[in-house]
């Protein structure tokens, strides 16, 4: 038995067919609609709520608990809903139109990409010049190719397939060819002069979002940028869920790899189309991302990352045929996966260090990239140490009652005075994102509505607060909470509140980051006064209000005056490595230079973590 | 309509089915019987004669001319015969049981093969030792692997497929693994200690025969040798026929490559079986051979070799995955194709120079490998020059009326006194091979039965010869000839003779070789007295009688006292390269050191060639 599912999304209707008992989340996925499912579809996060009319099995206990009154309005968790009749699904409330930073701060780099083209007109062979085809070519493509490099034997100079095509190509083109070179080898030979067509892409493969950049490798010019949600998120918001999924079976691992490739291919095609170039004229792609994302992209077994003692397969730069990863571009195209430091300090951090320039800055800098894990790097030219603090997903909106990503409908700033707030996309508020949460907690701390232990003022302690503040206290899901946006102003059923549990989540998260910073400072034997600059990387780092972050103790108050947001520094670093071999070498050097400090084995961290649970 | 073809061969009968009009040569090939077809099945050499009873179309003009009286006895050319009824085919007279040299002179080389194994017991990871899997492995496999070599970026240390399998392998084996290394990289990782299983093969891919050797790479011990006819010979005896065939279509090129691979695989399986080892424990194969044979093995387009100005695709050492060539061994197995000098001075010559040791010998040596092309190398430690003289196939028995290869039934020595001759395999004579032909011509020259212009004595000039010699003159195919083996002693219908045309063929061939030697001597500005040693390589060089060769002017008479036959020096050189990286490097150096002299552009050669047409 098959049922009809009409899906109302973004003002239009799509129709899908579903077998009896089909999971609605999967039906939607097949129809091309990916919902935000931080829990991986386990029915525990409540983020995949959609409005369903026309049927459905009895709501589960989870649905009752997570949806509460919304259940009566027809909301159901797609992950927990089995289709048993023709239905209508409304997901106009999901609003997952990501607003992602697609360009960080880029320094000027001299275009010297790892993949290059060279046009040559070769002398025709004669009895006086009997050089073999390959030698004839290598002799005229300069010093970089062939004959060197490998310790044991002369390198072939090119792969066997290129060598097999070479003679016919030379003869048919009248010995006028363009070589494509990388790593001192000829990757490909093309007839005639094709040097003008040489493009490359850079990617930041985030756990949540994937950002892509298209460059002309001759000029170094940025031709376009695009981003999309990481389609792997259907298996969970965090890296552990995805590793668990990938290790379940060979098939699951392949699916995870293919999802990454499809995402990259989709962005590549979009960028190429918008720029009016041929995907086949793209010869290199550089990938930044955390260690797990790059493992999954490369098809490497990431299971060692998920469990103590947290062992990746490799942290080296990986140079692979794009074809090996299922990534579309020229058939000789190269995929370069940037180096990582450890299981939880990935290429995204290395890229951010590169892009921030802290590795060549005099004095000591601090770099913080706040996400589910907060990666923290401390140091400079003389050496760097790094750690990864498990902050949990609170700053990304997960595990927060009305939390959501930094997308349309999210409250992203809040002030107690006049209860002023802003909403991404200027729409009615549907939830609250990281920067909004931090603002709210900071404001409530300032007002004394939260005490230093993190407790929301109770009936008694709230008595001293102004009336308009007192009136905002309410109860959400049986828990004391504070109304951020009253019901009449929201785009959802009911008010948007921040609960006592949410505040505990923020306490945990900020304690982890702060303790991570303090641990590195202690490891380095320095004081905050020695830190000349703080780089805040990543989307959250760009939107957060420094004053609020310092107020809640997420960042050291003493350093608030020297903070610089560097945006998507991971994507910028990847772009720099695409355009410059020197930057690629620098990334390698950075990855080797950074000493990793394992916090789960650090007594200092444990102590600092407890200390930082308090609001001071 | 299908017909039954009963094939009588080696005393047994095989049955094949053939479609109406099927070509008999192809029917036999499909039945696994390869006939010797120097002309490539064009109906011009007459070597594929078989006895057919039971039917057949009318004999062609070629068949009448080439088979003469044998036609009446039922002989037909298989290549020209179309099946049109049930038939019986007798091919017991083909006798192509090759007697091939399978071991040249081997010097002692220290076993240091290009592919090595190493067993390691790695420390288990911990929070205090979080090295990635790859780093953990590379740190314990010594200095040779990873981290070096490539100019631009850290090498990955292993290929992506190996990297993908690494984590599971380390964990399942308890971190006790064996690495397979080559070229400073880890090719493969195996669970447990497998170091004892490490074998390799060396091949000499001759145009006519393929010789194979199996070695233990730990001890350097030879475990077995085998050889077979090159199955590509069904497309012609010479390299030009095969290049023509391979360039006809992509399919034909693939077929040519596959034939080489199948031959190599057949020999590999045979050697492994006889030695009681597993083919999967073979990790390296080194290939010697002429430039064309190696191009066809590698699937390279050899068409530039066939036409002036004679341009190969490459002369470099080729290191390929055996899998890429369709060659069976361990899945990480490496195929190493030795370097060549030019289109007609191949790896077989480089190997022979290596194996002879002339490249490191004080003073000047001469190396001559006589085949369809005579490759000649002159020089020593201070430098070498080489050329290739187109001798034609006379010394290999082709284009000689009763010529055949050095196989069972071939007359391989002859003396006029008592008309004594020897036959390979001690059977009745069925033809004459190179060394027998040279002996015969030398004997007839000594007796005055051939004059200095190469003319066989006519009625008038023969008058002065002994009666028993005079009585041996006869007419074969309308041509004056000399009976080598009278009819009653042969294993064929009729006597074995050498004709005036055969003598002209020998004159041409020996003139080419002699002129090649003299050209190099002139190029080097030396005299014969400066040459301390002459190395005769190849099967023909081992069987030829030096006195006879000097008598007919094939080798300089002054050097006859310093000639040393070095057997299948090409196979020996390949073996040395399999066992020793130093030898592999030496082969590279030799290939680069040898300066090629193109005879087709040499005025000296043309003059010397004319001079040497005479018998002196």
B87-90 β-sheet, strand order: B12-19, B2-9, B87-90, B49-53, B75-77
Q: What are phi and psi of A471, to 5 degrees?
A: -65, -15
Q: How far apart are CA A283 and CA B254, in angstroms?
A: 29
Residue A573 has pLDDT above 90, yes or no: yes
Contact assignment for B316 to A168 by CB distance below 8 Å: no
Q: pLDDT grade, residue A142 (50/70/90)?
A: low
Chain B hits for A152, CB-CB cut-off 8 Å, are 114, 183-184, 581, 584-585
Contact assignment for A314 to B134 by CB distance below 8 Å: yes
**Other C-beta atoms lying within 10 Å of the C-beta of residue A217:** 23
User: CA A482 → CA A65, A452, A459, A465, B92, distances in Å?
Assistant: 20, 17, 13, 13, 103
| Whether A594 contacts A302, CB under 8 Å | no
CA dihedral of residues B105, B111, B114, B116 (deg, nearest 10) = 150
Q: What are phi and psi of B354, to 5 degrees?
A: -60, -50
Contacts of B300 (CB under 8 A, 6+ apart): A163, A164, A167, B312, B313, B314
Contact assignment for A584 to B152 by CB distance below 8 Å: yes
Indicate the range of A340-354, A426-440, B415-429 predicted with least confidence: B415-429
Strands (E), B416-555: 420-423, 431-432, 473-476, 479-485, 496-499, 531-537
Mapped onto helix, strand or coil, the DSSP state of residue A94 is coil
Q: How far apart are CA B449 and CA B469, in angstroms?
A: 8
Q: CA B182 from chain center: how many Å?
A: 28
- Please tell me the predicted confidence (pLDDT) of residue B33: 66
Surface of B (266-305) touching A: CB under 8 A? 298-301, 303-304
User: CA A190 → CA B73, B143, B301, B537, distances in Å?
Assistant: 60, 38, 17, 42
Q: Which of B115, B116, B124, B130 to mutate to test the interface with A (most CBs of A within 10 A)?
A: B130
| Whether B36 contacts B233, CB under 8 Å | yes
Residue B144 has pLDDT above 60, yes or no: no
Contact assignment for A316 to B129 by CB distance below 8 Å: no
Chain A hits for B300, CB-CB cut-off 8 Å, are 163-164, 167
What are the tens digits of pLDDT across the range B163-192?
Answer: 999 999 999 999 999 999 998 889 999 999
Please tell me which residue of chain A has the smallest CA distance to B126: A309
Give the pairing of strands B222-229 and B209-216.
antiparallel
Give the pairing of strands B334-337 and B496-499.
unpaired
Question: Residue A313 gets which letter from DSSP?
Answer: S
Average pLDDT for B5-33: 77
Place of tokens 């039934």: B409
User: CA A266 → CA A212, A333, A348, A482, B51, distances in Å?
Assistant: 10, 17, 21, 42, 68
CA B134, B138, B140 angle in degrees (round to 5)? 125
Q: How far apart are CA B255 and CA B262, in angstroms?
A: 10
| Whether B395 contacts B434, CB under 8 Å | yes
What are the tens digits of pLDDT across the range A452-508?
Answer: 999 999 988 888 899 999 999 999 888 999 999 999 999 999 999 999 999 999 999
Q: How far apart are CA B612 and CA B510, in angstroms?
A: 8
Question: What's the token pair of residue B449?
Answer: 């039965």
Percent share of chain A, pLDDT over 90: 64
Contact assignment for B153 to A183 by CB distance below 8 Å: yes
Percent share of chain A, pLDDT over 70: 92
Chain A hits for B172, CB-CB cut-off 8 Å, are none
- Please tell me the predicted confidence (pLDDT) of residue A268: 97
- Please tell me the predicted confidence (pLDDT) of residue B521: 97
What are the tens digits of pLDDT across the range A55-93?
Answer: 777 888 878 888 888 888 888 888 889 898 888 888 754
Question: What's the token pair of residue A200?
Answer: 């490359």
What's the residue count for chain B? 616
Q: How far apart are CA A62 and CA A49, in angstroms?
A: 12
Residue B439 has pLDDT above 90, yes or no: yes
Q: How far apart are CA A329 and CA A77, in angstroms?
A: 39
Place of tokens 């668990």: A244
- Please tell me the predicted confidence (pLDDT) of residue B90: 81
What are the tens digits of pLDDT across the range B247-284?
Answer: 989 899 999 999 999 999 999 999 999 999 999 999 99
Question: What's the token pair of residue A282?
Answer: 């793209």
Indicate the range of A41-45, A347-351, B331-335 predicted with least confidence: A41-45
* Cα of A594 to nearest chain B Cα, Å: 13
What are the tens digits of pLDDT across the range A219-266?
Answer: 888 898 888 889 998 898 889 999 999 998 989 999 999 999 999 999
Chain A contact for B134 (CB, 8 A cutoff): yes
Nearest to B101 by CA among B199, B208, B201: B208
**Higher-pLDDT residue of A285, A145:** A285
Residue B107 has pLDDT above 80, yes or no: no
Residue A281 has pLDDT above 60, yes or no: yes
- Please tell me the predicted confidence (pLDDT) of residue B38: 57
Q: Helices in B93-152 by DSSP H: which ranges?
A: 133-140
- Please tell me the predicted confidence (pLDDT) of residue A33: 66
CA dihedral of residues A10, A12, A18, A24 (deg, nearest 10) = 20
Chain B hits for A581, CB-CB cut-off 8 Å, are 152
Q: CA A612 from chain center: how many Å?
A: 27
Chain A contact for B143 (CB, 8 A cutoff): no
Q: Which of B146, B152, B158 to mutate to test the interface with A (most CBs of A within 10 A)?
A: B152
A299: nearest CB among B129, B164, B320: B164
Chain A hits for B303, CB-CB cut-off 8 Å, are 167
User: CA B291 → CA A467, B257, B306, B375, distances in Å?
Assistant: 95, 14, 11, 12
DSSP element (H, E) containing A566:
strand A563-567
Question: What's the token pair of residue B227?
Answer: 């050889």
* Cα of A317 to nearest chain B Cα, Å: 7
Chain A contact for B341 (CB, 8 A cutoff): no
Domains and CATH numbers, chain A: 2-90 (3.10.20.30), 116-191 (3.10.20.880), 199-337 (3.30.420.480), 349-392+506-613 (3.30.420), 394-505 (no CATH)
Average pLDDT for B487-495: 92
| Range A391-426 burial, b when 16+ CB lie within 10 A, else e | bbbbbbbbbbbbbbbbbbbbbbbbbbeebebebbee
| Range B481-513 burial, b when 16+ CB lie within 10 A, else e | bbbbbbeeebbbeebbbbbbbbbebbbbbbbbb
Chain B hits for A157, CB-CB cut-off 8 Å, are 314, 316
- Please tell me the predicted confidence (pLDDT) of residue A554: 95
Q: CA B134 from chain center: how many Å?
A: 43
| Whether A505 contacts A392, CB under 8 Å | yes
Question: What's the token pair of residue B275?
Answer: 């030695």
Residue A98 has pLDDT above 50, yes or no: no
Question: What's the token pair of residue B391?
Answer: 């001798």
Chain A contact for B248 (CB, 8 A cutoff): no
For chain B, give the mean pLDDT: 88
Average pLDDT for A591-609: 95
- Please tell me the predicted confidence (pLDDT) of residue B36: 60
Q: What are phi and psi of A225, to 5 degrees?
A: -140, 150
Please tell me which residue of chain A has the smallest CA distance to B144: A151
Average pLDDT for A272-279: 96
Chain B contact for A32 (CB, 8 A cutoff): no
Q: pLDDT grade, residue A367 (50/70/90)?
A: very high
Contacts of B391 (CB under 8 A, 6+ apart): B370, B371, B372, B373, B374, B508, B509, B510, B512, B513
B152: nearest CB among A156, A184, A343: A184
Nearest to B229 by CA among B269, B194, B196, B262: B262
Contacts of A263 (CB under 8 A, 6+ apart): A210, A228, A230, A231, A232
- Please tell me the predicted confidence (pLDDT) of residue B13: 66
| Whether A218 contacts A352, CB under 8 Å | no
Quick one: three-class SS letters along B151-191?
A: CCCCCCCECHHHHHHHHHHHHHCCCEEEEEEECCEEEEEEE
Nearest to B328 by CA among B268, B399, B378, B260: B268
Chain B hits for A114, CB-CB cut-off 8 Å, are 152-153
Q: How far apart are CA B168 and CA A300, in angstroms?
A: 11
* Cα of B473 to nearest chain A Cα, Å: 46
Average pLDDT for A545-559: 94
Max avg pLDDT among A178-187, A537-546, B14-23, B330-339: B330-339
What are the tens digits of pLDDT across the range A298-329?
Answer: 999 999 999 999 999 999 999 999 999 999 99
Question: What's the token pair of residue B340?
Answer: 């060549």
Residue B69 has pLDDT above 90, yes or no: no
Give the pairing of strands A2-9 and A87-90.
parallel
Question: Residue B486 gets which letter from DSSP?
Answer: -
Q: How far apart are CA B157 and CA B177, in angstroms?
A: 16
């Amino acid at each position: 038995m098959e049922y009809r599912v009409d899906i109302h999304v973004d003002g239009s209707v799509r129709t899908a067919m579903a077998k009896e008992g089909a999971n609605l989340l999967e039906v939607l996925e097949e129809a091309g609609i990916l919902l935000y499912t931080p829990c991986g579809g386990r029915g525990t996060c409540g983020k995949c709520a959609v409005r369903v009319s026309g049927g459905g099995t009895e709501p589960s206990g989870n649905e009752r608990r997570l949806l509460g009154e919304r259940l009566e309005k027809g909301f159901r968790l797609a992950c927990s809903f089995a289709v048993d009749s023709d239905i209508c699904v409304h997901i106009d409330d999901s609003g997952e139109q990501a607003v992602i930073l697609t360009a960080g701060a880029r320094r000027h780099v001299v275009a010297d990409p790892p993949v290059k083209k060279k046009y040559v007109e070769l002398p025709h062979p004669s009895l006086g010049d009997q050089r073999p085809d390959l030698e004839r070519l290598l002799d005229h493509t300069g010093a970089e190719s062939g004959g060197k490099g490998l310790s044991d034997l002369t390198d072939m100079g090119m792969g066997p397939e290129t060598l097999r095509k070479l003679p016919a190509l030379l003869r048919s083109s009248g010995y006028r060819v363009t070589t494509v070179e990388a790593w001192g080898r000829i990757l490909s030979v093309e007839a005639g002069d094709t040097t003008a067509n040489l493009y490359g892409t850079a990617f930041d493969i985030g756990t949540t979002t994937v950002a892509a950049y298209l460059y002309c490798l001759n000029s170094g010019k940025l031709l376009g940028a695009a981003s999309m949600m990481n389609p792997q998120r259907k298996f969970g918001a965090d890296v552990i869920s995805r590793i668990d999924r990938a290790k379940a079976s060979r098939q699951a691992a392949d699916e995870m790899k293919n999802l990454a490739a499809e995402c990259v291919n989709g962005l590549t095609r979009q960028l190429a189309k918008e720029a009016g170039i041929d995907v086949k004229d793209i010869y290199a792609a550089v990938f930044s991302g955390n260690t797990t994302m790059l493992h999954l992209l490369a098809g490497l077994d990431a299971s060692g990352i998920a469990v103590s003692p947290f062992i990746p397969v490799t942290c080296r730069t990986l140079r692979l045929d794009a074809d090996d990863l299922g990534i579309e571009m020229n058939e000789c195209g190269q995929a370069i996966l940037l180096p990582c430091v450890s299981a939880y300090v990935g290429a995204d951090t290395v890229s951010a260090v590169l892009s921030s320039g802290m590795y060549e800055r005099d004095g000591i800098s601090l770099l913080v990239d706040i996400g589910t894990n907060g990666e923290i790097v401390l140091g400079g030219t003389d050496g760097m140490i790094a750690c990864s603090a498990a902050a949990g997903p609170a700053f990304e909106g997960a595990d927060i009652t009305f939390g959501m990503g930094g997308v349309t409908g999210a409250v992203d700033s809040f002030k107690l005075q006049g209860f002023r707030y802003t909403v991404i996309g200027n729409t009615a508020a549907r939830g609250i994102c990281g920067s909004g949460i931090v603002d709210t907690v900071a404001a409530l701390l300032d007002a004394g509505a939260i005490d230093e232990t993190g407790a929301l003022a109770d009936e008694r302690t709230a008595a001293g607060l102004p009336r308009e503040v007192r009136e905002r206290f309410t109860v959400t899901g049986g828990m004391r909470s504070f109304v951020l946006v009253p019901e009449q102003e929201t785009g959802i059923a009911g008010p948007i509140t921040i609960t006592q549990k949410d505040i505990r989540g923020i306490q945990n998260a900020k304690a982890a980051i702060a303790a991570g910073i303090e641990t590195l400072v202690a490891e380095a034997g320095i004081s905050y006064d020695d830190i000349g600059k703080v780089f805040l990387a990543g989307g959250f780092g760009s939107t957060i209000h420094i004053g609020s972050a310092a107020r809640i103790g997420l960042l050291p108050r003493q350093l608030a005056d020297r903070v610089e947001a560097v945006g998507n520094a991971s994507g910028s670093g990847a772009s720099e490595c695409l355009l410059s071999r020197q930057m690629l070498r620098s990334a390698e050097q950075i990855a080797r230079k950074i000493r990793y400090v394992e916090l789960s084995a650090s007594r200092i961290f444990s102590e600092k973590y407890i200390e930082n649970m308090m609001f001071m």
